[in-house]
Chain A
Amino acid sequence: MIAAPERSEVAPTRTRRIAVSSWRIMRKHPTGAVGLVILILILLFILSAGILTPHRYDRTLSGKAAPMMSRGFDDELLVLGGDELGRDILTRLQHAGRTSFVIGLAAPLLGVTLGTIIGIVSAYRGGIVDLLVQRVVDVLISLPGLVLAMAVTLALGFSVWGVIVALSLNVVGGSSRVVRSHALTQSQLEYVQAARALGASDLRIIFRHLLPNSMAVSLVLFTVGVGAAITAEAGLSFLGLGVQPPTPSWGNMLTFAQQYFRFGAHIAIIPGLTIAIVVFAINLVGDSLRDILDPHLRGRG
């Protein structure tokens, strides 16, 4: 048998290096690590919809606002109780999480992507293009977010996609402005000039050179956007302009709970608390990510 090589002789593999460096980063940013753990747990919870509980999210199983750990009509165990229509809250929380997360991820993804491209093009082209684009962005930013989102969902219909588009519009303006300022400094650097001297086209410079350099900024904008989008979706749903039943979302669970929460406060507290915890966790991760990706802010704030 060949003796196992000494540990120090083993060349660190790529995965190992990544594991070591991510462990180091986690140690340096414990709050971010906590946020990440919470998020992972919540994601597991959401993804286990249909596995964790045997119930359906749209079936009445008990009386209105049944208390936690109570039994339903057929003696089913309702761990978190029943909602205003006697549906299992635990199951609904999982399914609603899907909607909320899809919207929470897709809206800022769409918004930040658009904002990033607009910002870079605006900064790179400069001159009249920059001027015009930035005035449109001014208009977009000056509109109150929730009002804009309400108007757009009314126009597009209350589907998941409608809500995503509506909420992404809130992100486009702000993110394009941040990315533009970053791209402005980048486009003055010599590597852009060097790429042009190499015969690179404008499109190539924008997508191959400026875009990767703006990724750090966009990523931070995205994480901040996720928390905001989940709250905004809850807000829209609360006003009845978001995702419509029977599709559950954390926001519309809250909406319908408000009429019945005298019978059992838990039907409002549980989705409310979930939103609060998720947004908190995302913000923890986002803050740490900003510190990690932006060396200028390191040690400040």
Chain B
Amino acid sequence: MPLLEIEDLKTYFYSDDAVVKAVDGITYDIEEGETVALVGESGCGKSVSSLSILGLIPSPPGRIVDGEVKFRGTDLLQLSASEMRRYRSRRIAMVFQEPMSSLNPVINIETQLTEGMMTQLSLTKRQAGDRALELLETVGISDPERRLKQFPHEFSGGMRQRVMIAIALSCEPDLIIADEPTTSLDVTIQAQILDLMQTLTRERGMALLLITHNLGVVARYVERINIMYAGRIIEHGASTDIFEKPSHPYTVGLLNSIPRIDRDTRSSLDPIPGQPPDLARLPAGCHFAERCRNAIDKCEREYPTTVEVEPKHTSACWVAEAVYNDNALQLSHA
């Protein structure tokens, strides 16, 4: 049984005159100790889907309309608020996007780091303090004793993200959800933080869900990738398969729009034309049809069914086979 199974999850936001379908029926799973990525551009619903897992959708206006989020077989969506609280950070912890604002500016690091351990694991202040010290050391902060007494403004962005990781690790969860953990950091720090998260989760056998808009970032770190577009998962597969044999035109577009060291340096990048659709006014057919190079008539009318192009590699596209074969062919020629 997978650690986390998400079945047909739908999270909608209701306003006076529209329903924004931020997450519109996504299905994926994470095995114990596995690192999985959820990739998509800004506003495609990836953050909303992760907040839905922990029941942190602001309601109103948001509501989880349908679906299941099964953690070791328990549907988290059926839990009461206080039962849900016990899952947070003890089973599933989260690292947020903005290390600058994810720490409370007026409380010192020690208090913030020990808060979870004291409430969730019922450690004494002393025990929690000792563990906090260890954790800071683990995430690579030097002089942890002095650092514990300091306030967030005395830390740099990268160090704050390290503190956030320490907080996430503090209750020994089984799954850490990292929502764009490196977006606001320097490129050099990005690699450090991702390496750190990977080592620490591997060491402890924790699963990691890495949410990002940067396909390049995840390449090295994840085993499986889910590509999300306009509220739905459009391609899923093992990391290498997605990179080598993408079978959805959107994934192909994403890969073409990032610089790669193994490409001809003189050729220019090839961006995806147009804008993602308005989530409140989604087209009847494939959400990507308008921007798609491979679009056929059917794409405009009907949302594609998901097909398996090879074992454990699925794509929601009417021409998935053709795209897949095309890329697989290129690979065999190379």
Q: Is the CB of B242 closer than 8 A to any CB of chain A?
A: no
Bound together, the chains give a CA A212 to CA B103 distance in angstroms of 13
Taking the nearest CB of chain A, how far is it from the CB of B59, in angstroms?
Answer: 9
Q: Which of A191, A195, A200, A209 contacts B101 (CB 8 A)?
A: A191
Taking the nearest CB of chain A, how far is it from the CB of B143, in angstroms?
Answer: 15
Q: Which of B89, B98, B101, B107 contacts A198 (CB 8 A)?
A: B89
Taking the nearest CB of chain B, how far is it from the CB of A125, in angstroms?
Answer: 12
- Is A196's CB under 8 angstroms from B106's CB? no
- Specify which chain B residues have a CB less than 8 angstroms from the CB of A190 in the assembled complex: 96-98, 101-102
- Is A199's CB under 8 angstroms from B56's CB? no
Considering the complex, which residues of chain B in the window 98-147 have a beta carbon less than 8 Å from any beta carbon of chain A? 98, 101-107, 115-116, 119-120
Q: Is the CB of A28 closer than 8 A to any CB of chain B?
A: no
Bound together, the chains give a CA A198 to CA B107 distance in angstroms of 15
- Is A213's CB under 8 angstroms from B104's CB? yes
Q: Is the CB of B54 closer than 8 A to any CB of chain A?
A: yes
Q: A215 — nearest CB in chain B belongs to which residue?
A: B106
Interface size on B, residues (CB 8 A): 28
- Is B88's CB under 8 angstroms from A199's CB? yes
Considering the complex, which residues of chain B in the window 139-181 have a beta carbon less than 8 Å from any beta carbon of chain A? 164, 167
Q: Which of A127, A199, A208 contacts B107 (CB 8 A)?
A: A208
Taking the nearest CB of chain A, how far is it from the CB of B138, in angstroms?
Answer: 18
- Is B115's CB under 8 angstroms from A200's CB? yes
Q: Is the CB of A197 closer than 8 A to any CB of chain B?
A: yes
- Specify which chain A residues have a CB less than 8 angstroms from the CB of B54 in the assembled complex: 197
Bound together, the chains give a CA A250 to CA B88 distance in angstroms of 57
- Specify which chain B residues have a CB less than 8 angstroms from the CB of A197 in the assembled complex: 54, 56, 88-89, 93-94, 96
- Specify which chain A residues have a CB less than 8 angstroms from the CB of B101 in the assembled complex: 189-191
Q: Is the CB of B85 closer than 8 A to any CB of chain A?
A: yes
- Is B90's CB under 8 angstroms from A199's CB? yes
Most B Cβ at <10 Å: residue of A189, A190, A194: A194
Q: Which of A194, A212, A215 contacts B164 (CB 8 A)?
A: A194
Q: B86 — nearest CB in chain A belongs to which residue?
A: A199
- Is B56's CB under 8 angstroms from A193's CB? yes
Taking the nearest CB of chain A, how far is it from the CB of B96, in angstroms?
Answer: 5
Bound together, the chains give a CA A157 to CA B104 distance in angstroms of 44
Considering the complex, which residues of chain A in the window 161-203 have a beta carbon less than 8 Å from any beta carbon of chain B? 189-191, 193-201
Taken residue by residue from 238 to 254, chain B's Cβ proximity to chain A (1 for < 8 Å, 0 otherwise) reads as 00000000000000000
Taking the nearest CB of chain A, how far is it from the CB of B258, in angstroms?
Answer: 27
- Specify which chain B residues have a CB less than 8 angstroms from the CB of A193 in the assembled complex: 56, 96, 102
- Is B119's CB under 8 angstroms from A204's CB? yes
Q: Is the CB of B60 closer than 8 A to any CB of chain A?
A: yes
Q: B106 — nearest CB in chain A belongs to which residue?
A: A212
- Specify which chain A residues have a CB less than 8 angstroms from the CB of B104 in the assembled complex: 191, 195, 209, 212-213
- Is A191's CB under 8 angstroms from B103's CB? yes
Considering the complex, which residues of chain B in the window 166-210 have a beta carbon less than 8 Å from any beta carbon of chain A? 167
Bound together, the chains give a CA A73 to CA B106 distance in angstroms of 61
Taking the nearest CB of chain B, how far is it from the CB of A23, in angstroms?
Answer: 22
Bound together, the chains give a CA A209 to CA B119 distance in angstroms of 15
Given A190-B102, A213-B106, A215-B106, check contact A198 B97 (CB 8 Å): no
- Is A194's CB under 8 angstroms from B107's CB? no
- Specify which chain B residues have a CB less than 8 angstroms from the CB of A127 in the assembled complex: 60
Taking the nearest CB of chain A, how far is it from the CB of B208, in angstroms?
Answer: 15
Taking the nearest CB of chain A, how far is it from the CB of B236, in angstroms?
Answer: 25
- Specify which chain B residues have a CB less than 8 angstroms from the CB of A204 in the assembled complex: 119
- Specify which chain B residues have a CB less than 8 angstroms from the CB of A195 in the assembled complex: 104, 115
- Is B96's CB under 8 angstroms from A198's CB? no
Q: B98 — nearest CB in chain A belongs to which residue?
A: A190
Given A190-B97, A204-B119, check contact A198 B88 (CB 8 Å): yes
Bound together, the chains give a CA A201 to CA B85 distance in angstroms of 7
- Is A199's CB under 8 angstroms from B60's CB? no
- Is A213's CB under 8 angstroms from B56's CB? no
- Is B120's CB under 8 angstroms from A196's CB? no
The residues of B with any CB-CB pair to A shorter than 8 Å are 54, 56, 60, 82, 85-90, 93-94, 96-98, 101-107, 115-116, 119-120, 164, 167
The residues of A with any CB-CB pair to B shorter than 8 Å are 127, 189-191, 193-201, 204, 208-209, 212-213, 215
Q: Which 5 A-B pairs have the closest CB atoms?
A: A199-B88, A197-B94, A190-B102, A190-B101, A194-B102
Can you pick out 26 interface pairs between chain A and chain B where the beta carbons lie within 8 Å of each other? A189-B101, A190-B96, A190-B102, A191-B101, A191-B102, A193-B96, A194-B94, A194-B96, A194-B164, A194-B167, A195-B104, A196-B56, A197-B93, A198-B89, A198-B115, A198-B119, A199-B85, A199-B116, A200-B85, A200-B119, A201-B85, A204-B119, A212-B104, A212-B107, A213-B105, A215-B106
